[in-house]
Amino acid sequence: MSIPFNRPYLVGRELHNIAQAHANGHLSGDGMFTRSCHAWLEQHVGARKALLTHSCTAALEMAAILLDLQPGDEVIMPSFTFVSTANAFVLRGAVPVFVDIRPDTLNIDEALIEPAITARTRVICVVHYAGVACEMDTIMDIATRHGLKVVEDAAQAIFSSYKGRALGSIGDLAALSFHETKNVIAGEGGALLVNDPTLVERAEMIREKGTNRSKYFRGQVDKYTWVDIGSSYLPSELVAAFLAAQLEQGESITARRLAIWWRYHAWAEPLEARGMLRRPTIPAGCTHNAHMYYILLDGLAQRSAFIERMKAAGISTVFHYVPLHSSPAGLRCARTYGPMPHTDHISDCLVRMPLWIGLEAHQDQVMQAAEKILSTRGVFGAHGWGGCFSTAGKTRNPRNAQLSNAG
Ligand SMILES: *Cc1c(COP(=O)(O)O)cnc(C)c1O
C-alpha cells in the first residue's frame, strides 16, 4: 500500500451539520454555524473578534486593507513562507522586505527585524512555522517602540501557544487557515482574528463588500449601505457547518497528531546523535500543535535522493518552501534585507514526513524505510553529515525551483 503525505481527517459530524444548515434554509454566510465558529475561536484562541473567511489568504488580504497599506509601504517578513504572506501586501502596492530565518525554529530572526526598519516600514508579518511560535515578546516590543503593527500568519498554528498565550491572540491581527492540509479543516477556509479593538468595526465592513451590513443586522443602523472599500470574504454556511464539527474536535485532533509527532521525534533522536539528520527545535515556553514533522538532511542532493527513494518505497514525502526572495514574483515585487543563508540552506535540506490521523498503523513502515535509506552508504555517507548544522549558504540548484505540492 502506498502512504500519502497528507490525508484529510473527518471527525464524523460534518455531514450532519451540513444537513442541518440545509434544513435551516440559510446557506449564504453568517448564519448560526458561522456565529458558533466565531464564538468558538474567540473563546479558545482568546481573540477579541474572529471572522471566518474563505481562506487564510483572504484573511491576510483583509489585514492588508485594514492596516491601510499604501504603495511603497514596507512589510518585514520571512522569505521562508507560503506565497500568500507576501501576496496579500503586494496587492495593496506594499513591498515585502524579507529577512532571514533562525536556523533552529526556522522562524523570522527577530534580531534582524530592527535593522531592517526604514521610514516606510508599517507592519511586521510573522509566520509561526510548523505551528511553533516566533519570539513574540521581542517582536511586540520592537513594534511598540517603532509604532508598527504586527500581523501573525498563524495559518499553521491553531492550538499552539507562546508563554501561555494562544498563537493568533498576540499580534494586532492574525490569520488562520482551515485548508485541507492544515490540522483543523473545512476544505478551503480561514479566519481573521482581530485583537486591536479599534479595527473590529472596519474589519466587518471590509468582509461584507464594504457595507455596514453587520451593523444593520445588529439593529445599529436602519438601512445598510456602501461605506468603505471591501470584498466578499465570508464563507458559505455549508463551509462553516463543516468547520464547526472540526473545531469541536480540535483538541482531540491535536492530541492524536502530537502522539504521531512525538513518535517521529523519539525515532529521530539516535539518528540525530549519529549526525544523520537534524530534528525540529521547540523553544522553552512554546507548546505546538504537531502541524508538521520535518527532518533536515545534509543538502539538496541528499534531500532529492531521500524523497525519490521514499517514493520508490511507496511513501510520499515533500519539501518546501522555494524561498520567496528567489521566486520570479519575489524578485519583481519585494526586496531582501541582508543575506539569506539560513533561508537558502534550509529550503534545500528540509523534508516533511507524512503526518495525518490514521498514519499510526503505518508509521513504523515509514520510519523503517526512512532509516534504511538514510543508512545507505555512498549516497548519504559520501557527502558526510552535519551540513545542515553549518550556517553558510550553499549554491542553490535550479532543480529545486519547482513549487512543493504540500500547501
Ligand atoms: C496554508 C498557508 C497559507 C494559506 O492558507 P489558505 O487557507 O490556503 O489560503 C498562508 N500562510 C501559511 C504560512 C500557510 O501555511
- CATH code, 299: 3.90.1150.10
Instruction: List Cβ neighbours of 283 (8 Å cut-off, separation of 6 or more).
Output: 104, 105, 132, 133, 135
In this structure, what are the phi and psi dihedrals at residue 209, rounded to the nearest 5 degrees? 60, 25
- The confidence score (pLDDT) of residue 381 equals 53
Helices (H), 274-336: 300-312, 328-333
Q: Both 165 and 293 in a single domain? A: no
Q: Both 37 and 120 in a single domain? A: yes
As for how many domains the chain has, the answer is 2
Ligand 1 contact, 156 CB (< 6 A)? yes
- The confidence score (pLDDT) of residue 392 equals 38
| pLDDT for residue 34 is more than 60 | yes
Q: Both 245 and 257 in a single domain? A: no
The predicted-structure confidence for 236-260, as pLDDT tens digits, reads as follows 999 999 999 999 999 999 999 999 9
User: What stretches of 28-168 adopt beta strand conformation (E)?
Assistant: 49-53, 74-78, 95-99, 121-127, 149-153, 161-162, 165-166
Q: Both 101 and 178 in a single domain? A: yes
Q: Both 109 and 150 in a single domain? A: yes
| pLDDT for residue 378 is more than 80 | no
Is 24 within a domain? yes
Is 405 within a domain? no
Q: Both 275 and 377 in a single domain? A: yes
What's the CA-to-centroid distance between 177 and ligand 1, angstroms?
Answer: 6
Last residue of a domain, one of 199, 226, 249: 249
| pLDDT for residue 86 is more than 90 | yes
Q: Is 163 left (phi over 0), alpha (psi -120 to 50) or beta?
A: left
Residue owning the nearest CA to atom 8 of ligand 1: 179
Could you tell me if 243 and 184 are in contact, meaning their C-beta atoms sit under 8 angstroms apart? yes
Q: Both 204 and 283 in a single domain? A: no
CA 128 to chain centre: 6
Residue 49: CATH number of its domain: 3.40.640.10
Q: Give this prediction's pTM.
A: 0.93
Which residue has 491601510 as its cell numbers?
Answer: 68
SS (H, E, C) 93-111: CCEEEEECECCCCCCECHH
Is 156 within a domain? yes
Q: Both 56 and 117 in a single domain? A: yes
| pLDDT for residue 385 is more than 70 | no
Q: Provide the 3-class DSSP secondary structure of residue 194.
A: strand
Is 292 within a domain? yes
Q: Residue 216 — very low, low, confident or very high, per pLDDT cuts 50/70/90?
A: confident
- The confidence score (pLDDT) of residue 132 equals 98
- The confidence score (pLDDT) of residue 391 equals 36
CA angle centred on 193, ends 187 and 198, rounded to 5° = 150
Q: In the predicted model, what is the mean pLDDT of residues 302-326?
A: 96
Half-sphere exposure of 387 (CA within 13 A, CB side): 24
| Distance separating alpha carbons of residues 215 and 228, to the nearest angstrom | 14
Radius of gyration of the chain (CA): 21
| pLDDT for residue 225 is more than 70 | yes
Last residue of a domain, one of 219, 249, 279: 249
- The confidence score (pLDDT) of residue 380 equals 66
Q: Residue 386 — very low, low, confident or very high, per pLDDT cuts 50/70/90?
A: very low
Q: Both 271 and 231 in a single domain? A: no
Q: In the predicted model, what is the mean pLDDT of residues 8-13?
A: 97
Which residue has 457595507 as its cell numbers?
Answer: 211
- The confidence score (pLDDT) of residue 181 equals 97
The predicted-structure confidence for 114-155, as pLDDT tens digits, reads as follows 999 999 999 999 999 999 999 999 999 999 999 999 999 999
What's the CA-to-centroid distance between 82 and ligand 1, angstroms?
Answer: 6
The predicted-structure confidence for 274-289, as pLDDT tens digits, reads as follows 999 999 999 999 999 9
Q: Both 36 and 171 in a single domain? A: yes
The predicted-structure confidence for 165-199, as pLDDT tens digits, reads as follows 999 999 999 999 999 999 999 999 999 999 999 99
Q: Both 232 and 294 in a single domain? A: no
Q: Residue 131, class by beta-carbon neighbours within 10 Å (0-12 exposed, 13-18 middle, 19+ buried)?
A: buried
Which comes out higher in pLDDT, residue 83 or 387? 83
Is 6 within a domain? no
CB atoms within 10 A of CB 381: 12
Last residue of a domain, one of 249, 273, 296: 249
**Probe target for ligand 1 pocket from 6, 52, 55, 56, with the most ligand atoms within 8 Å of CB:** 56
Ligand 1 contact, 81 CB (< 6 A)? yes
Ligand 1 contact, 179 CB (< 6 A)? yes
Is 8 within a domain? no
Is 109 within a domain? yes
Give the domain range for residue 307: 251-400
What's the CA-to-centroid distance between 211 and ligand 1, angstroms?
Answer: 27
Q: Both 245 and 283 in a single domain? A: no
- The confidence score (pLDDT) of residue 136 equals 98
Ligand 1 contact, 155 CB (< 6 A)? yes
Is 3 within a domain? no
